[in-house]
Amino acid sequence: MANYYNKDLYKILNLNFDATLDEIKQSYRKLVREYHPDVAGENADINKFKEIQEAYEVLTNEENRKKYDVLHGFYREKIRKQEESVRKNKYEEYIKKAKINANTQENFTKSINSALDNLFHSGKGSSKTTEPKRIIHGQDININISISCFEALNGTNRKVNILHTQPCPNCEGRKFINGSQCSMCNGSGQLSLQKKINVKIPKGVSQGSKVRIKKEGNKGLNGGKDGDLYLIVDIEKNPYFNIEGNDILCNLPITPFEAVLGAEVSIPVFGEKITVKIPSMTSSGQKLKLSGLGIENNNKTKKGDMIITVQIKLPEKLSEKEKALYNQLKELSKYNIRKDLNNAK
Q: How many CA atoms lie within 13 A of 140 on its CB side?
A: 12
Cβ pair 66, 72 in contact under 8 A:
no
Question: What is the dihedral angle through the alpha carbons of 294, 297, 301, 303, rounded to the nearest 10 degrees?
Answer: -10
Q: Which residues make beta-bridge pairs with 309?
A: 251, 287
| Separation between Cα atoms, residue 303 and residue 289, nearest integer Å | 13
What would the pLDDT profile of 299-323 be if each residue is shown by its tens digit? 667 888 999 999 999 988 989 999 9
Q: Give the long-range contacts of residues 67-74, CB within 8 A, separation 24 or more.
A: 67/1, 67/191, 67/193, 68/1, 68/4, 68/5, 68/9, 69/17, 70/166, 70/169, 70/191, 70/193, 71/1, 71/5, 71/193, 72/8, 72/17, 74/10, 74/17
CB-based burial label for 248 (10 Å; 0-12, 13-18, 19+): buried
Cβ pair 279, 265 in contact under 8 A:
no
What would the pLDDT profile of 263-299 be if each residue is shown by its tens digit? 999 988 777 888 999 999 999 999 999 998 888 876 6
Report, as an integer, the average pLDDT of 331-341: 83
Q: What value does the mean pLDDT of the chain take?
A: 80
What would the pLDDT profile of 11-58 be if each residue is shown by its tens digit? 888 988 888 899 999 988 888 888 887 776 777 788 888 888 888 988
| Separation between Cα atoms, residue 268 and residue 274, nearest integer Å | 6
pLDDT at 190: 80
Q: Which has more pLDDT, 122 or 318?
A: 318
Task: Tell if the pTM clears 0.85, that is, is over it.
Answer: no
Cβ pair 259, 310 in contact under 8 A:
yes
| Separation between Cα atoms, residue 218 and residue 136, nearest integer Å | 11
Most confident of 66-70, 89-93, 341-345: 66-70
Q: Is the pLDDT of residue 127 over 50?
A: no
Beta-carbon neighbour count of residue 78 at 10 Å?
Answer: 14
CB-based burial label for 130 (10 Å; 0-12, 13-18, 19+): exposed
